[in-house]
Structure 1
């Protein structure tokens, strides 16, 4: 089922190597780029991108200091790296590379990417980006596109050898991709459409081991302890690899993602050099905090920050995004321990890329109806919380914060 091409493995590996060292200056030439990028949804519906060199203090008015975005071409599902922004422009059927200059988001380069919906991005090197997604408009076939971002040229593309939906399941989602030597591990599940705005999810998490770079299947593991592994990681982070090489990912069966709320949100682990979830490890988040969670960010060692809903504060999916009801918890993933709930204002926005780690400070963006929109500082050494940069003016939601360089 591999549709890469008829190239031999040795030729493909050579091509990857060549692309990996060609025009690498193009990924670093943007010397004027700031350290951080912030994506804002404004009260009037406009969207803005702002850049800054610090998150610890100050005030930014996005309508004055940011670039107003063309929402027909750009949205929050953007990949940010080395001063550039990468986004799938569906109208042009192309992946576009942008930079922000003079309060404008300007196209630098692009490459064709047709009938592709990005579910996951994974950097294989400084210049080598692996995109994994689904065919459009059916969302039934797992596809990939490997490219060199310095030249914005395709290295290879095709289908991953992963079973298409069958029976009552008519679409699917890809939650994570992890490279492990000459293998790729792909986590996914299947969905059933129940109506125009309603769906449900299989009770199973699937992890397929693929040969890399051929993308042919070796074996598939199934885990029924929870479902909906990870999530679209261009929107929110839900997995990470620790210093020992163990891989942790969150299963998200709550109504906002898997819509199997009777199942538990859980963190699962794939141990180093293994290819399936550890059957002896399951961190049951729902049991520990009494709610579902979406999003997980590593902050060093065995610790991570997770973002969890308060089911007593929203009425249903229709007000899930607008109602402030999200809390943040510090967890120890190795020892299955909730350390404490962070004393932050209730946050709003169902999915957001909202945690950054820099120099033992976790920066957490909070969109609070009561206390405003701030980047909060959480000192990992002292456990002290304090307000940092304020996003004021027309700001309604801080949709994402990213490290530019």
Structure 2
């Protein structure tokens, strides 16, 4: 359902960007990254990466060495990204990985002397991106859809050599009957088993789409991708989401896997179903029938997009305020998102963090570093800041400011391994 994916991208920020243009790339690197007042040598080992959108719908990547203070004007320190590169970027051990729009070329980049340089690239045929999972140090599992049939498809890559180890179809249920496409919401690995969460969508009507009232969790053998079992789950729908854009799952210290369902109008568009957190226990291959953290029925009383684990049984969720926007047309632009602190084990909302209302439908805007959670917030009145939340002492303070043409902080990522 390619048109659905196009719409989901636009829903995030409500802009018709020129991302359908094919950029002719002749192997030359293009400049993108820099850090305010930082020399080139330091840029090669910058610990953090920020992905920004400006007021003219142009995107930037900026490497930074400090999230705790300072101010950056992106237009003064870096160049705009070409239209072939967007925020669905995978970052690991100093490298950026990105599936280029339209051309389906998967490229590895690195910051070199303040520029994002292409290092290697491989084509991924008949593949539409949904999720990624690192299954080894240099082994990356990409899961998504066959662009022709909307059935599950995967690529297992060696990112050091930039070669395809294996590819093929996921042995999961295919869309049939009234359902014309699928969404793979999460993929997680347990020894020689994969757990794949997915759901189905009817054909789009009147320019919009919806989601089935059922989601599925398939258990597959790895690496053969042969199906062992499929579980149906009716308590909510649209498990997880496109994790190259925003995280909606985590694994805790005991190995329990948690994922959030996303049936709100900006993702699953099945708003009568609750946004909820479900659990797959460490010793199980199916959802815990005794665990269902219903966020929509809590004091949040809304849908949510974005879930991040803080450690020790606590997490942050980014929830919409349905009383502050009118519909999909202004969902991205109106500040209406709030951040709530959750007790995952007790299934309780602890408190709402006293942050300004945030804007932007889907953003990878939380980075947890030890006892600090960095939270990117965009508010026209309060400014664009990386806020610092002291997890142990329950204290908020302002950190790095993004000024100038900055309109949205789309991503905040750890660029280098071991960054604290």
Aligned counterpart in structure 2 of residue 232 of structure 1, from 242, 249, 257: 242
Aligned counterpart in structure 2 of residue 32 of structure 1, from 44, 64, 70: 44
- The range that moved more, 152-161 or 188-197, is 188-197
* Counterpart pick for 1:169 among 160, 170, 179: 179
Unaligned 5+ runs, structure 1 = 1-29
CA contact (8 A) 2:43 2:113 kept: no
- Equivalent position of 1:24 in the other structure: none
Counterpart check, 1:386 vs 2:417 = no
Would you say the 8 A contact 1:67–1:105 is kept in 2? no
Q: Which residue of 1 aligns with 2:200?
A: 190
- 2:266 and 2:209 map into 1 onto residues whose CA distance is 11
Partners of 1:193 and 1:33 lie apart in 2 by: 47
Aligned to 1:343: 354
**Whole-Å separation in 2 of the counterparts to 1:56 and 1:359:** 14
Instruction: Work out the number of aligned pairs and report it.
Output: 374
Report 1:3-402 matches (<5 A): 32-71=44-83, 73-138=84-149, 140-195=150-205, 197-288=207-298, 289-402=300-413
Given that 1:68 and 1:104 are in contact with CA atoms closer than 8 Å, whether structure 2 keeps it comes out as no
**Cα distance, 1:393–1:253 mapped onto 2, change above 3 Å:** same
Provide the C-alpha distance between the structure 1 equivalents of 2:374 and 2:78, rounded to a whole number of angstroms.
Answer: 20
Cα deviation 1:197-240 (Å, max 9, x = unaligned) = 30110011100000111001011001100000000000000001
How far the C-alpha of 1:196 sits from its partner, in A, is 5.5
Runs of 4+ in structure 1 over 3 Å off: none
| SS of 1:318 mapped into structure 2 | coil
Matched-pair contact (CA < 8 Å) for 1:122–1:178: yes
* CA contact 1:67–1:103 (8 Å) conserved in 2: no
SS at match of 2:103: coil
Tell me: CA distance 1:306–1:327, structure 2 relative to 1, closer, same or farther (3 Å): same
TM-score when normalising by structure 2: 0.87
Q: Secondary structure at the match of 1:64?
A: helix
User: Over aligned residues, Cα RMSD in angstroms?
Assistant: 1.3
Deviation for aligned residue 1:137? 4.4
Q: Residue 43 of structure 2 contacts residue 114 of structure 2 at CA under 8 Å; is this kept in 1?
A: no
> Is the CA contact 1:269–1:281 (under 8 Å) kept in the aligned structure 2?
yes
- In 1, the alpha carbon distance for the partners of 2:167 and 2:348 equals 41
Q: CA deviation at 1:337?
A: 0.9
| 8 Å Cα contact 1:50-1:67 kept in structure 2 | no
